[in-house]
A = this chain, B = another copy of it.
Amino acid sequence: MKLNYSIGIDIGGTNTDIGIVSADGKIIDKENLPTNEYYDADLYMKDVAEKIKILLERNKISEIDGIGIGAPNGNTYTGSIDNAPNLNFKGQVKLAEMMKKYIDTKVVVSNDANAAAYGEMIYGGAKNLDHFITFTLGTGVGSGIIIDRKLILGSTSTAGELGHSIIIINGRQCGCGRKGCLETYTSAGGIRRTALELMEHNPYYSGVLKDIAPENLTSKMVGDAANAGDPIGIQTFENVGYLLGIAMANAVTFSAPQAIFLMGGPVHAGEVLMKPLRKSFDEHLLNIYQGTVDIRVSELKDNEVAILGAAALCQL
């Protein structure tokens, strides 16, 4: 199918970003709205639709493939957001249905991690791949799974929650109520937590991270320290890479993908993460898969992936 322009909407707890995306994956214009100032979802969608109309007019675009919406707890089957904890809209909010009242086009809703995976396929490094998985390291660890160029939704539209696969039985307490989830170790917060734990166990450590108040420490600081040769920083990312490598090797036993893509802030730490990650992945990958799977960094920019992923959903 010949791609036209698509609209990508990224609904965050604070802001809503709305972009027009060209067929070759460029965000040609953007608008935004303060999500947290709305309590009536229908009024909110009406204003989002107004912004879209402004964008289309300003760019003299009359035809679009559709509107894609990436949102926390976005449900592709129902076109709704279901009980999203960080939004003012409670219960099930049927965004697609609401939007169609204002703009009569294809509207597809998905959660942000699934949208990111689809974005990688339509606009990023997976254009020519049939089978791949993405892991997004951020506040949590999101994931999206593509098999035979289809986004895996499962029976509930909530497939691909690999951040909540249990990597260490009875491990760290997770916000989900269980213990040992991958994201307790490899999210931005998990990285921070590992650095703090390592400092606690190394009382004689006197590097750069020691001087930062624990509440101010970020995964970015840990990554910067690692890249400057700091031993706690290095050890932290070795730990993250080790566990991510195992989680990825486990994911391969499921869908035998051609590649696994990493995205999100901590990935910018670079080789201090990627080197131990690749080593662990190779060590823990079942022999029959050796040489069949690449570990790659996403080709979408962090600040564009949400809109691009949402826009890509129009091709679903």
Q: What is A's interface to B at a CB cutoff of 8 Å? A: 130-131, 145, 147-148, 150, 152-162, 164-169, 176-178, 246, 249-251, 253-258, 283-284, 286-289, 292
Chain B residue contacts of A150, Cβ below 8 A: 148
Q: Name the distance in Å between A257's Cβ and chain B's nearest Cβ.
A: 6
Chain B residue contacts of A250, Cβ below 8 A: 165-166, 250
Instruction: Name, among A178, A251, A254, A292, the residue most crowded by chain B CB atoms within 10 Å (CB to CB).
Output: A254
Closest to A251 in B: B254
Q: Name the distance in Å between A115's Cβ and chain B's nearest Cβ.
A: 17
Question: Given A246-B166, A284-B178, do A254 and B257 touch, yes or no (CB 8 Å)?
Answer: no
A251 vs B250: C-alpha distance in the bound complex, in angstroms? 10
Chain B residue contacts of A246, Cβ below 8 A: 166, 169
Q: Is the CB of A288 within 8 A of B154?
A: no
CB < 8 Å neighbour of A286 from B154, B167, B178, B251: B178
CB < 8 Å neighbour of A147 from B131, B154, B158, B249: B154
Q: Is the CB of A254 within 8 A of B158?
A: no
Chain B residue contacts of A251, Cβ below 8 A: 254
Chain B residue contacts of A162, Cβ below 8 A: 253-254
CB < 8 Å neighbour of A158 from B152, B176, B258, B288: B288
Q: Name the distance in Å between A316's Cβ and chain B's nearest Cβ.
A: 13
Question: Given A166-B246, A168-B169, do A159 and B254 touch, yes or no (CB 8 Å)?
Answer: yes
A11 vs B172: C-alpha distance in the bound complex, in angstroms? 45
A148 vs B169: C-alpha distance in the bound complex, in angstroms? 30
CB < 8 Å neighbour of A253 from B153, B161, B289: B161
CB < 8 Å neighbour of A254 from B254, B287, B292: B254
Question: Given A147-B154, A155-B292, do A286 and B161 touch, yes or no (CB 8 Å)?
Answer: yes
Q: Is the CB of B287 within 8 A of A176?
A: yes
22 contacts between A and B (CB under 8 A): A130-B155, A147-B147, A147-B152, A148-B150, A152-B254, A154-B257, A155-B257, A155-B258, A156-B292, A158-B288, A158-B289, A160-B253, A161-B253, A161-B288, A162-B254, A165-B254, A166-B246, A166-B250, A166-B284, A177-B287, A254-B254, A254-B255
